[in-house]
Amino acid sequence: MSEIIISMWLAAWIIQLCRIYYPIFRRVPHGHIVRKQWILCSTIVAVFAILLVPFSIPAMLSEKHKIRYQNGFLKGLLGED
């Protein structure tokens, strides 16, 4: 039973990284510190994303929630708000 839960969690995590976070990192302007330190930033986001998989399921399933989440995350990432 635990194998099924772990595999579902990891599958949701990979989908979350591809559908939510990868497009965010593509929108970061060139020359920004996040772009320069992309390995460190990606690692930190991946670690926190694996812990927050159950809370980000609405953002993965709904296009409206995904865009809203991405815009808020990008503003926070760039320090605009």
In the prediction, which pLDDT does 45 show?
Answer: 92
| Confidence category of residue 1, pLDDT binned at 50, 70, 90 | confident
Give the model's pLDDT for residue 47.
Answer: 96
DSSP secondary structure, 12-31, as one string: HHHHHIIIIIHHHHHTSPTT
Is the Cβ–Cβ distance between 33 and 50 less than 8 Å?
no
Single pTM value for the model: 0.81
In this predicted structure, the answer to whether residue 17 has a pLDDT above a threshold of 90 is yes
Q: Where are the domains of the chain?
A: 2-78
Residue 81 has pLDDT above 80, yes or no: no
Task: Give residue-wise pLDDT tens across range 23-51.
Answer: 999 999 999 999 999 999 999 999 999 99
Q: Taking a C-beta distance cutoff of 8 angstroms, is the pair 76, 21 a contact?
A: no
The per-residue b/e assignment along 6-25, b for 16 or more CB within 10 angstroms, e otherwise, is eeeeeebbeebbebbbeebb
